Amino acid sequence: MEQGCKEHFSALNHKFSAVIESSFSSEKSPKISELFQFIDDLNTWHEILQGKEDTTILLSAIKEYEFSFQAVLNGQYRYAFIAQRYFLEQVCRFIYLSTNELHLRHWKLGLRDISWGSLVEKENGVFSKIFIRAFYDEVEDEGEHMIALSSKLYRESSEFIHGNFEKISGMPDKINFDVKLLEKWLDFVETSKFVALFLLLVRFSKEFDAEELRKIEDMTKEELGGIEEFNLLFA
């Protein structure tokens, strides 16, 4: 019995290896590596923020981001989408609760949660004008577009997790490499990365000293250089 179980999982392990091989042999390989590097950037943010903020949720977001890669490279696409969406949610939650210690403490105690809808709510959410104005007013006009973008991203990701038969029925029954699902997941991860960096910059960057700014300069210019107002940080 025990031996049979072990063999079952060893066989699975072979399949995981095959999917890893196929993924990195595909034309998507550079993109996988590029986006995986973002874990280093996230750790840089964690390094800067720890001691200043409660980074529990940020750490959970980083773990989720990493797990999403593990899942996708094992052919567990549905779980990859779940983790990618949870990463997005956790980053937004981290940013939101970083401004409200009481709510954060209640959240940690399990007394109070905050829904996705509230996180991206137009009037008071993390992309609302008044929220962005408080921390990085130069980009407050971007807020409305970020709400559109994040809401769509969340909805599109959800279609691969539950509720959309067309997407769910497209999921492989067995552990197999699927380039279309990989491509879709990479799109979502890329957009999630953009949203995460946008929020981290808006919320914290103006409090950074020169050394801390130097640490985030390259990633900011690379990812958010198209939003001119962020370049002012390094002028």
Partner 1 sequence: MSDFKIRTETIKPSKILDYFVETKDDRKIVDRLKSDVPIVLVGSRGVGKSFLLRVAEAELKRDISEKNVVPVYLSFTQGSVLQLTDEHDFYQWMLAKMCSALLRSIKKLGISVPASLLAEKSGDEEDHYLSLLISEFEQTWKGNLKTIDTTDLPSIDDFKEAIEDICEESGIESINFFIDEAAHILRPSQQRQFFSLYRDVNSPYINCNAAVYPGVTSFGDNFQPIHDATFINLERDVSSAGYVEYMRNIVDKQADSNLLGKIAKNMSNFSVLSYAANGNPRILLKTLTLAPSVSSREVNTVIKEFYKSEIWGEHTLLSDKYSGFKNFIDWGRNFVEDYILPEVKGKNDGYLAGDKKTSRFFWIHRDAPETVKKALNLLCYTGIISLHTDAVKATRSEVGTRYSLNVGCLLSLENTPVSTGIPIVKNTTIKRMSEFGANHAAYTSLSPEITAFDDSIINQALEEQLAKSVDFLDLPNWLIETLKGLGLNEIKDVLNATEQKIQEAYYVGKVRSRYIKNEATSAVFEYLSG
Binding site for partner 1 (CB under 8 A): 141-142, 144-146, 148-150, 152-153, 156, 187-188, 190-191, 194-195, 198, 223-224, 226-228
Closer Cβ to partner 1, 67 or 188, answer by number: 188
Closer Cβ to partner 1, 77 or 188, answer by number: 188
- The token duo for 161 is 């997790």
HSE, side-chain direction, 13 A CA sphere, residue 38: 27
Q: Where are the alpha helices (DSSP H) in 26-123?
A: 29-36, 38-49, 56-73, 77-97, 101-108, 116-119
Smallest gap from residue 223 Cβ to partner 1 (A):
7
Q: How far apart are CA 123 and CA 128, in angstroms?
A: 5
Smallest gap from residue 226 Cβ to partner 1 (A):
5
Amino acid at site 223? E
- The token duo for 64 is 């989720």
Closer Cβ to partner 1, 149 or 161, answer by number: 149
Chain centroid, CA 212 distance in Å: 22
Smallest gap from residue 177 Cβ to partner 1 (A):
21
Smallest gap from residue 152 Cβ to partner 1 (A):
4
Smallest gap from residue 146 Cβ to partner 1 (A):
7
Closer Cβ to partner 1, 36 or 194, answer by number: 194
Smallest gap from residue 62 Cβ to partner 1 (A):
20
Q: What is the largest CA-CA distance in the chain?
A: 66
Give the residue among 97, 93, 201, 87 at the shortest CA–CA distance from 153: 87
Closer Cβ to partner 1, 86 or 107, answer by number: 86
Element (H, E) at 186: helix 179-204
- The token duo for 6 is 């072990």
Q: How far apart are CA 206 and CA 225, in angstroms?
A: 16
